Structure 1
Amino acid sequence: MTRNMGGIDRAIRIVAGLLLIAFALGLGFPQTGWNVVGWIGVVPLLTALIGWCPAYSLIGVNTCSRASNA
């Protein structure tokens, strides 16, 4: 698995993932019937932590800078 996510992409995914998980847990968000949907935040969080997105691989996207593509 070659990294295909750059730093900005990873940072955005970490923030989005944490916000979605906070929504699922009701931390700072109202409890609704849709809070369970927030658990989808685990996906962007994990992809950001490993630096590889399977969807990017399928469509040929690479947001890494060429010099740091390790």
Structure 2
Amino acid sequence: MNRNVGTVDRAARAVVGAAALGWAFVTGVTSGAGLALLVVAAVLLGTAAVGFCPLYRLLGISTSNRHQVSRSAAR
């Protein structure tokens, strides 16, 4: 499993995931909206933690610098 989520993307996912988690508890975790927010938070925090997003792989997207060709290798 190669990382396809870059540093800035991971930080943004962590912030939005934490906000969704907080909002889920404010809304009430047993409500429909609360459960949906918990799922969103889990996905965002999980992908931020491991640095891999399955949807990015399906779409061929990578925000990680590991997949970019360096200038010295391109010469």
Give the unaligned 5+ runs of structure 1: none
Cα distance, 1:41 vs structure 2: 1.0
Which residue matches 1:25?
Answer: 25
Give the unaligned 5+ runs of structure 2: 69-75
Moved more, 58-67 or 38-47: 58-67
Q: TM-score, normalised by structure 2?
A: 0.75
- The whole-number CA distance in structure 2 between the counterparts of 1:60 and 1:20 is 26
Q: TM-score, normalised by structure 1?
A: 0.80
CA RMSD, 1 decimal: 1.9
Q: How far does the alpha carbon of each residue in 1:8-32 deviate from its partner, in whole angstroms, 9 at most, with x for none? A: 0000000010000101111xxxx47
Find the structure with the greater CA-based Rg.
2
Q: The residue matched to 2:5 in structure 1 has which SS?
A: coil
Paired residues in the alignment total: 64
Moved more, 8-17 or 58-67: 58-67
After TM superposition, where is structure 1 displaced by more than 6 Å over at least 4 residues in a row?
none
Amino acid at match of 2:34: N
User: Which protein is richer in helix relative to its size?
Assistant: 2
Cα distance, 1:67 vs structure 2: 7.3
Which residue matches 2:37?
Answer: 38
Which residue matches 1:53?
Answer: 53
Gap change, CA 1:67 and 1:36, over 3 Å in 2? closer
